[in-house]
Amino acid sequence: MRILLTGGLGFIGSAVIRRLISETEHEVLNLDKVTYAGTHTSVQSVSDSNRYHFSKVDIVDGPAVTDAFASFRPDAVMHLAAESHVDRSIDGPGEFVQSNIVGTYEMLQAARSYALEADIMDRFRFLHISTDEVFGALSPESPPFDESTPYDPRSPYSASKAASDHLVRAWHETFGLPTLITNCSNNYGPFQFPEKLIPLMILKSAAHQELPVYGKGDNIRDWLFVDDHAGALLRVLEEGKPGETYAIGGNSERTNLEVVQQLCDLVDTQLGDNGARQELISFVADRPGHDLRYAINASKIKDELGWEPSHSFAEGLAKTASWYLENEWWWRPLLTERYEGERLGVTT
C-alpha cells in the first residue's frame, strides 16, 4: 500500500512509521507541520529508506493537503496529526480547534475528492486515530469505555478530538468515504515528548528534581505500550471494517501515584545510585477539569481482529525508563530548545 500518514514526526506516528518501514513493504508519505512536538530524529532510523517520504505541511492548509494527495496517490490515510496535550489545551485551545477540527475537515475533503477522482472509493481507507478521552471520565466503579459509550468530552483537547470523530463519521455516512476510527487509551514508550507524565517523571527523577503529581495522584489511566498501539493500528487498517470504531487499550489501569512510584524505583535501580527518588514526589495543584479515570474494554478488536497487547505494564515501563536513560541525544535538545519541564495548564 501507499500510505499517507499525518503527524509522523510525533510520538505515535513515528512508531507507526518505524514499523511500516522496517516490518512491511508499504510506502509512506509523512505530512507533518513540525510543531514543538514533532522531530525528525524520531524517524531517523528509517528515513534513508526509499519507501519513506516527508513533506512539511500544515493540514489546515487545504490546497497543500490536496496537492499531497494528487502527487502521492495513496491507497490509504492514517490520520494522527493533532495537538495532543491536555495541559496545553487549557493554556491555548485555539490551536486545538484549528489542527484537530479544521485540519481533520481538510483531510476528509481532500481524501473524498481524491478517491472519487481516482475511482477507488471502494478500496480506499481513511483511518482516523482518536482517543478514549472523548468518552469523558469514569467513576472507580463504572465499567470501562467501549465502542457504544456516549461521547462526553470535558477538556478543550478531548472536545476537539470528539468533534473530529463526528466529522469522520459524517463523511462516512453522508459521502460514503470508507473511514475507520480508533479510540485508544494512554500510550507510553520511547520518543514521547517530555511534557507527558511518564517521560517527564523519568527525566525529572533522574535529575533529582521534584516530581509534580497533580491533586492526590489518585486519577487512573489505562496504559498501553506505543509499539502495541502501532500494531493495532496496522491491524485495523488492513482488516477493519469501514464505518466501524475500535476501542484499543492496555488492560493496565494504574493510579498516577502508582505509576510515579514504580518509575522512581526503576530509575533508582537502573542508575544504581540508591537515589530514594520516591521522596521527590510532591502533590501540586490539580489539573482543571481533571478526568478521574479512563479505562478501555478492548474485546471487540480482540474478538474481531485478533489483536491484544503484547507488553505487560511492568515490561513496557522498564523498557521505557531504560530507553530514556540511554538516549539523551534524543531528548536533551527538546528540553533545551522547546520545553524545560515547567508546569502547564493552570488557570488563574
Q: Which is nearer to ligand NAD, 178 or 250 (CB)?
A: 250
Pinpoint the alpha helices (H) of the chain. Answer: 11-23, 62-72, 86-91, 94-96, 103-117, 156-175, 197-206, 226-239, 256-271, 299-305, 313-326, 328-337
By CB under 6 A, tell whether 82 contacts ligand NAD. Answer: yes
Residue 340, judged by CB atoms within 10 A of its CB (0-12, 13-18, 19+), counts as exposed
User: Does the active-site annotation cover 303?
Assistant: no
Q: Which is nearer to ligand NAD, 27 or 228 (CB)?
A: 228
Instruction: Out of 27, 133, 222, 253, pick the active-site residue.
Output: 133
d(CA 15, CA 11): 7
By CB under 6 A, tell whether 158 contacts ligand NAD. Answer: no
Asked if 160 and 96 touch (Cβ cutoff 8 Å), the reply is yes
User: Does the active-site annotation cover 23?
Assistant: no
Q: Which residues lie closer than 8 Å to 140 by C-beta, 6 or more apart?
A: 220, 292, 293
By CB under 6 A, tell whether 136 contacts ligand NAD. Answer: no
By CB under 6 A, tell whether 201 contacts ligand NAD. Answer: no
Which of 200, 206, 234, 295 touches ligand DAU (CB under 6 A)? 200
Amino acid type, 73: R
Pattern of binders to ligand NAD over 251-290, x per CB under 6 A?
Answer: ----------------------------------------
Asked if 3 and 14 touch (Cβ cutoff 8 Å), the reply is no
CA of residue 12 relative to chain centroid, distance: 5
By CB under 6 A, tell whether 112 contacts ligand DAU. Answer: no
Instruction: Out of 52, 114, 157, 246, pick the active-site residue.
Output: 157
Binding interface with ligand NAD (CB under 6 A):
6-7, 9-13, 32-35, 37-38, 58-60, 80-84, 99, 103, 129, 131, 161, 184, 186-187, 193
